[in-house]
Amino acid sequence: MLENEFHKLEEKKEIRTTISQIRKEIKKQDSKKAFLELLQGKESMIVDFLSEEDAKTRKNTALLIGDLKLEQAKEALIAAYLNETTLYVKSAYLTALGKLDVRENLEFFKNRLQEVKNQQVPAEEQKHQGEEIRELNEIILKTEGAKKHQFTGFQMPHEMLLLTNREQREVTFSEVKEIGASVQRKAELHPLGVLVFSKEVIPFTKLRTYRELLFPIHTNERIPAMPHRAAELLWHSDLYAFLTECHEGDAPFFFRLEVKSAETKTEFVKKLGASLEKKSDWKLANSTTDYEIEIRLIEAKDGSFVPFLKLYSMKMKRFAYRKNAIAMSIHPATAAMLMYLAKPYLKENAQILDPCCGVGTMLIERDILVPAREKYGIDIFGDAIDMARENAALAGEKINFIHRDYFDFKHDYKFDEIVTNMPVKGKKAKEDMDAFYARFFEKSKSLLAEDGIIIMYSNEVGFVKKQLRLQPCYRLIQEYTIRKKDSYCLFIIGMK
């Protein structure tokens, strides 16, 4: 296949479609290597196609040069880029150059960036100008690295939204109230969590039961699903002032857009990003890889959006221990929230067992909240046990992790608590899950102390309640709804 395409190029037949076909083929590493072997010593043949009359051929040629990383074509690409008059082709040259070693040309790209930014172009050409600026920024970023900003506003007054589990917002609200009036001016429940008006930020970075900390962006009106108007409102909000006041260093600030809505808004996001760059005179630069802030738009019932800011420039160390995770790992903020709910039933210096420990998150969060004496984690998945040991070490936790099936586990003494995030059904049949829960409760009563408890997170409410009926040695102490939509609950279960 590639040989036929190569010979077509040699004979200058169907150049545009042939180059497009080659680009598809060489996405496979072996095919790319084979084509480079065919091309050896004849690289100038590809470079010559940069002079073709057909604009799409020039564009595809530039992109192929980048795909193949033909370093010897660098100067020809730069020359073709500067001579190009078809606007939609110009960014293709830059895409290709971004894949080559252009360190010695860095000043050229910096100067060119300023030239393009200063150009006054008609409205119909602004899209292509934005693409060119974006590609130039990417080249500079890749070559010298992004100049990252550090958040310095920790001791300034701020309004913050702590995103929480919607069913249990009161947990985080209780944590916030414990901080006291010396730090917070006001706190109130919000549909997405807890809204805090604080005198400083640091105490809130240490709370464990919320998932994310966002800063509201204040605009004159709700953000409409119209990209240019949305960009205007965001630029004239307090967004840029907040960024400059709370960070060291100059613009640009590299951002990404995240739209939370019922429907995918790909085109809206794309146009909004480009328009916001233009409105801000590229003080805000859209980047898919090196972003340091996220502008998040959350859709309201009327279809408009409420804007928030998430800062990656503000280092959060709450869950720094969680280096490892697997697909079904519980989020550490969820684990912390579950333990907070269970706190009235937890004992200090308890002996604790997690029969399905995964990477250890539940045990770690349990011990952080109320220190225990002995902690054992069991999992049938050996890789998870290795990950759990590393996570626990990073958390400074001494936990005994054992690679074993819970139903084969034996121990010399009984446990005060069994703490577990139960496995999800997955592809298992209903009958298999029913049998699993029956075996779990049967096994657990042989390992629990007389006054022991089970702290169980599960979305199999029916199976849990069934075993509580069938096995009279257990009693349901407390039940909390955690995720109503998919029936997740926290059960506090005691021995009678």
pLDDT of residue 224: 96
Report the pLDDT value the prediction gives residue 250, as an integer from 0 to 100. Answer: 87
- Please report which confidence band the pLDDT of residue 287 belongs to, taking 50, 70 and 90 as the band edges: confident
Residues in the chain: 496
Q: What is the pLDDT of residue 6?
A: 87
d(CA 426, CA 424): 6
Predicted pLDDT at 206: 93
pLDDT band for position 427 (50/70/90)?
Answer: confident
Residue 273 has pLDDT above 80, yes or no: yes
Q: Is the pLDDT assigned to residue 257 strictly greater than 80?
A: yes
* CA-based nearest residue to 193, from 305, 301, 308, 293: 308
Rg (the chain; Cα; Å): 29
> Per-residue pLDDT tens for 188-211?
999 999 999 999 999 999 999 999
Angstrom distances, CA of residue 153 to CA of 150, 205, 288, 405:
9, 12, 25, 49
Tokens representing residue 127 in the block: 């899209």
pLDDT digits (tens, 9 = 90+) for 17-41: 999 999 999 988 889 999 999 999 9
> CA 121 to CA 474: how far, in whole Å?
75
Closest CA to 326 of 385, 406, 239: 385
Question: Which residue is listed with tokens 């029913």?
Answer: 434
**Stretch among 133-142, 234-243, 448-457, 472-481 having the lowest mean pLDDT:** 133-142
Strand order in the sheet with 158-163: 184-190, 193-198, 158-163, 212-216, 305-311, 293-299, 253-260, 284-286
- Kindly state the percentage of the chain with pLDDT values over 90: 82
Percent share of the chain, pLDDT over 70: 99
- Give, as one character, the DSSP assignment of residue 234: H
User: Does residue 18 come out as left (phi exceeding 0), alpha (psi in the -120 to 50 range) or beta?
Assistant: alpha
Torsion, Cα of 194, 195, 197, 201 (10° steps): 60
Mean of pLDDT over the chain: 94
DSSP 222: P
Instruction: Check pLDDT > 90 for residue 428.
Output: no
CATH among 3.30.530.20, 3.40.50.150, 3.30.1330.10, 3.40.630.10 for 332-495: 3.40.50.150
Distance CA 436, CA 124 (A): 64
Q: What is the dihedral of CA 148, 150, 151, 152, to 10 degrees?
A: -140
Structure confidence by residue, pLDDT tens digits, 211-236: 999 999 999 999 999 999 999 999 99
The Cα–Cα gap between 179 and 139 comes to 46
* pLDDT(181) > 80: no
Residue 200 phi/psi, 5-degree rounding, is -160, 170
Pairing outcome for strands 284-286 and 253-260:
parallel
DSSP letter at 298?
E
Q: What is the tens place of the pLDDT at every residue in 129-148?
A: 888 988 998 898 888 876 78
Q: 137-141, 181-185, 351-355, 390-394: which has the minimum mean pLDDT?
A: 181-185
* Mean pLDDT of the 79-107 span: 94
- Cite the beta strand spans of 236-282 per DSSP E: 253-260
DSSP H or E segment with residue 495: strand 488-495
DSSP-assigned states of every residue in 156-175: S-EEEEEE--GGGHHHHHHH
The DSSP string of 305-348 is: EEEEEEESSS---TTTT-----TTPPPHHHHHHHHHHHGGG--T
- The helix (run of H) or strand (run of E) holding residue 242 is helix 239-245
Architecture of domain 147-317: 2-Layer Sandwich (3.30)
Provide the residue ranges of all domains of the chain, joining segments of one domain with +. 1-144, 147-317, 332-495
Q: Please tell me the distance from the alpha carbon of residue 159 to that of residue 179, in angstroms, as a whole number.
A: 15
pTM (two decimals) = 0.84
